[in-house]
Each structure stands twice: as C-alpha cells, then as structure tokens.
C-alpha cells in the first residue's frame, strides 16, 4: 500500500538535497545485519521511487560492489534508491556470502525480505518496482529471489552467477518474472557450462535460461543481436539474446560474452581478467528493469509448465477438497501458497493419490506446488 505523505516525510525529503550514501542496520534472527543505501539527489520524498538491490559476490562486500557494479550515475538521473546489503560469513571458509540454496544455514531470503520492508517504511518506495541484481554469488541470490521471493521482486539480473542444483525444487515462484543473465563463456569461477564447487553445484547458463524461458512461457527462439565490438582491445565480444512474448510481458534476456571472464561488463578492467567494454552492464540492467512492474497473477484455470507428471483430480474451482495423483511412484510433497507467496499448508511423503482439506483457507486464488526431489510443478486453483 502506498504511503501517505506527512510532515515527517517532507522533513526527510528536505534532508536529501544531495545524493547520500549511508550505513544502516536491522536486527534479524537475533543478530545485526548491515547495509548501505544510496539515495540520489533527485529523491524528495513526494513520490514513490523504485528500489534496486545490488548484491556483492562471495568474499566481497557492499563497499566494493557499490563501485564495481556501479548504478549511482544512473540512479541520479532515473531517480531510484540503491540498497546494498552485506552478506554474513559462510561456515565453509568464513567469506561473506549469500545463501542462495547453498545450505549454509543462513536465512538470507527472509533477511532481504525484512530489509525491503524496513527501507519501505523509511522511504517512499514503489512496492511494484523492486528489483535485484548482483555479481557472482549476488547474481545467484538475485535469481533465488526471483524463485522464492517473487511476491516482492519485480525482475532480476545476474552478472556471472547462475543457480544451484537445489534451487528449482525450492522455488515458490507465483508469477512470470523477467530475468536477465550476463555471463562470459570463459568464466573460470562460475563455469558457463555448469560446475561443482565447495558451496554446491552450479547449473549451466543454458539450463538457467531454459528454466525461466519455460516458466515465463517465452518464445523458444530468441532474437539475436551482435553487440558492436567498439573496443577491440578488450579481447572479447558480446551477443544479446532476447526471448520475447512471455506471460504478462515477462522476457528473458541473455548477454553472452565470448571470451569473457568473471567480470562486470563496462566496469574498470581488473589485472589479468578479461572485461568486456562494448556495453555497460549497469546501464543495460536498468533499461531492462525499468520496463517492468510486478506482474499480476495470470489466470487460475490452467496448469503451469512442468505439471505433466501430476494430475488434478478434484474440481477447480474447489469446494473444499484438493485431490492430486502422481503419475510416477516417487514420494512427493504438496504446499498450498497464497498469491503473496506465503505457504499456508503442507503435506509430505505422498505416494499415488492424495487429498488435502482446504476448509481452513479463505475463498480465493492459490497455488499448489508439488515436488518429488526430481521435478516441481505448480497448479493454480480457486477455493470457493
């Protein structure tokens, strides 16, 4: 819900006559979590503005990300606020990280959700225009938010990060989510074709693209555009792939950097690392984000892709009972999710046909997520 402008909010606006970078903290899970916030001079507190999360990589920090994946000049003209949270040390090597389904035991999804709420309480944030991007592990986390915090995140972009092998079964995504993936095919840290590392397996870039293309119901054949090779001395080239016509207008965009390594295109070149200079990733990410507001839920009388192995055997709309049947013999779990992304009911260790009583739920639209540790499906239902 949009905030009402008060005398207090006007006073806050007057204090931001120039752009500011501030440090802040919130209490989460019994500890203190910190962040940086960049507020452009154009922000005056009289209208809602977008919020962009900019997440650092493994072993990095929010100060480094502020300058490396720099959105400040863009925010100054486009008038959005940049939120740079700080990750906590992971238990494997104590480097700052984001738990993007890596199993480190830190609830970063809930932390980032709570932090968004905290910033939205203090600033005039357009809750339909909240985005996430990041470098490497920050890219993993941004795609994790697309899959597991789609109730708040309108679109995401990952630079040199993909998804873990654990993410797809964990996704509770409830709507089409626009996704941009920027990645070098010579990346030695997060391999373009997938890898296994101490924090878990990484899916290939093609696997990530195919998942979101299918989820958003985009065209399978992309529009391919060669990025002009204006800086030939950077030892790499770039090609853009646009997968269009997704549900609610959601698209998937991929910048493939041929010869590119584990770097942010357009950023300052790091010694010994190939950095593409033919386009600026921050600029292209903001152009992508600026096209989207948080999509509304699509029609509830159809199955989402991936549900071919599970059958709905009760009426839809339902009068109170949900019946499902798996077409294989694997045990499966069922979660009932509301349109805000909150899990309301769960039932585990189902085999064959199963039934759930929906009497405790209010009438309305819900998503039924079914997983069997190998695949996941979402079915949209109406409770009457």
pLDDT, average across residues 363-381: 80
pLDDT, average across residues 355-366: 87
Cα angle value 158/161/163 (rounded, 5°)? 100
Q: What is the CATH number of domain 310-383?
A: 2.60.40.3080
Fold of 7-289: Rossmann fold (3.40.50)
Q: State the pLDDT at residue 300.
A: 35
Q: State the pLDDT at residue 305.
A: 45
Query: How do the domains of the chain map onto residue ranges?
Result: 7-289, 310-383
Is pLDDT of 306 > 60?
Answer: no
Is pLDDT of 301 > 50?
Answer: no
pLDDT, average across residues 105-113: 96
Instruction: Give yes or no for a cis peptide into 317 (omega within 30° of 0).
Output: yes
Higher-pLDDT residue of 228 and 5 is 228
pLDDT, average across residues 196-211: 84
Q: How many CB atoms lie within 10 A of CB 384?
A: 12
Q: State the pLDDT at residue 10.
A: 34
Q: How many CB atoms lie within 10 A of CB 47?
A: 12
Q: State the pLDDT at residue 367.
A: 80
Q: State the pLDDT at residue 374.
A: 75
Q: Give me the phi and psi of 252, to 5 degrees please.
A: -120, 130
Dump pLDDT digits (tens) for 329-340. 889 999 888 755
Distances (CA, A) of 307 to 150, 303, 310, 332, 374: 20, 7, 6, 13, 12
With beta carbons less than 8 A apart as the criterion, state whether 186 and 260 touch: yes
Q: State the pLDDT at residue 122.
A: 96
Confidence band, pLDDT 50/70/90 cuts, at residue 302: very low
Q: State the pLDDT at residue 8.
A: 33
Strands of the 49-55 sheet, one edge to the other: 20-28, 31-39, 81-85, 49-55, 125-135, 155-159, 179-184, 252-258, 237-243, 223-226
Q: How many CB atoms lie within 10 A of CB 228?
A: 10
Confidence band, pLDDT 50/70/90 cuts, at residue 3: very low
With beta carbons less than 8 A apart as the criterion, state whether 370 and 337 touch: no
pLDDT, average across residues 336-365: 84
DSSP 281: H
Q: State the pLDDT at residue 317.
A: 82
DSSP track, 64-115? HHHHHT--HHHHHHHT-EEEEE-PEEPTTT--EE--SSS--S--HHHHHHHH
265: which 2 tokens?
């295109």
The rounded distance, in Å, linking the Cα atoms of 307 and 66 is 41
pLDDT, average across residues 245-261: 94
Q: State the pLDDT at residue 233.
A: 96
pLDDT, average across residues 322-333: 90
Confidence band, pLDDT 50/70/90 cuts, at residue 28: very high
pLDDT, average across residues 364-383: 80
Confidence band, pLDDT 50/70/90 cuts, at residue 18: low
Distances (CA, A) of 157 to 17, 252, 363: 30, 10, 35
pLDDT, average across residues 224-243: 97
Assign 248 to helix, strand or coil.
helix
How does strand 155-159 pair with strand 125-135? parallel
Q: State the pLDDT at residue 341.
A: 60
Nearest to 116 by CA among 134, 99, 129: 129
Q: Over pLDDT 90: what percentage of the chain? A: 68
Dump pLDDT digits (tens) for 271-297. 999 999 999 999 999 999 999 998 543
Q: Which of 51-60, 305-314, 326-335, 374-383 has the highest mean pLDDT?
A: 51-60
Assign 206 to helix, strand or coil.
helix
Q: Which of 44-48, 318-322, 368-372 has the highest mean pLDDT?
A: 44-48
Q: State the pLDDT at residue 337.
A: 81
Q: State the pLDDT at residue 364.
A: 78
The rounded distance, in Å, linking the Cα atoms of 298 and 304 is 10
The rounded distance, in Å, linking the Cα atoms of 34 and 294 is 26
Dump pLDDT digits (tens) for 155-188. 999 999 999 988 998 998 878 999 999 999 999 9
Q: Report the chain's mean pLDDT, rounded to a whole number.
A: 88
Dump pLDDT digits (tens) for 117-128. 999 999 999 999
DSSP 268: P
Q: Which of 261-265, 305-309, 355-359 has the lowest mean pLDDT?
A: 305-309
């Amino acid at each position: 819900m949009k905030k009402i402008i008060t005398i207090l909010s006007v006073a806050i606006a007057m204090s931001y006559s120039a752009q500011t970078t501030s440090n802040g903290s919130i209490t989460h899970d019994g500890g203190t979590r910190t962040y940086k916030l960049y507020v452009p001079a154009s922000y005056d507190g009289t209208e809602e503005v977008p919020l962009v999360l900019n997440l650092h990589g493994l072993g990095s920090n929010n100060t480094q990300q502020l300058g490396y994946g720099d959105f400040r000049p863009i925010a100054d003209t486009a008038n959005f606020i940049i939120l740079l949270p700080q990750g906590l040390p992971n238990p494997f090597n104590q480097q700052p990280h984001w738990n993007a389904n890596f199993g480190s035991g830190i609830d970063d999804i809930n932390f980032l959700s709570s932090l968004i709420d905290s910033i939205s309480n203090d600033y005039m944030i357009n809750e339909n225009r909240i985005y996430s991007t990041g470098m490497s592990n920050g890219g993993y986390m941004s795609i994790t938010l697309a899959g597991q915090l789609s109730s708040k995140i309108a679109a995401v972009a990952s630079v040199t990060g993909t998804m873990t092998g654990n993410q797809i079964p964990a996704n509770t995504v409830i709507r089409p989510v626009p996704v941009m993936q920027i990645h070098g095919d010579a990346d030695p840290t997060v391999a373009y074709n997938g890898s296994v590392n101490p924090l878990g397996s990484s899916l290939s870039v093609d696997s990530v693209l195919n998942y979101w293309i299918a989820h958003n119901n985009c065209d399978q054949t992309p529009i391919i555009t060669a990025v002009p090779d204006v800086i030939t001395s950077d030892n790499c080239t770039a090609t853009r792939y646009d997968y269009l016509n997704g549900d609610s207008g959601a698209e998937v965009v991929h910048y493939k950097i041929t010869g590119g390594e584990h770097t942010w295109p357009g950023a300052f070149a790091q010694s010994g690392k190939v950095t593409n200079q033919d386009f600026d990733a921050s600029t292209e990410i903001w152009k992508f984000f600026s096209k989207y507001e948080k999509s509304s839920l699509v029609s509830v009388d159809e199955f989402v892709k991936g549900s071919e192995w599970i059958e709905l055997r009760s009426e839809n709309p339902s009068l109170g009972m949900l019946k499902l049947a798996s077409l294989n013999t694997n045990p499966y779990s069922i979660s009932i999710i509301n349109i805000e992304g909150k899990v309301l009911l769960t039932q585990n260790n189902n085999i064959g046909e199963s039934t759930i009583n929906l009497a405790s739920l209010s009438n309305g639209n819900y998503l039924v997520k079914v997983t069997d540790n190998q695949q996941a499906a979402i079915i949209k239902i109406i409770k009457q």
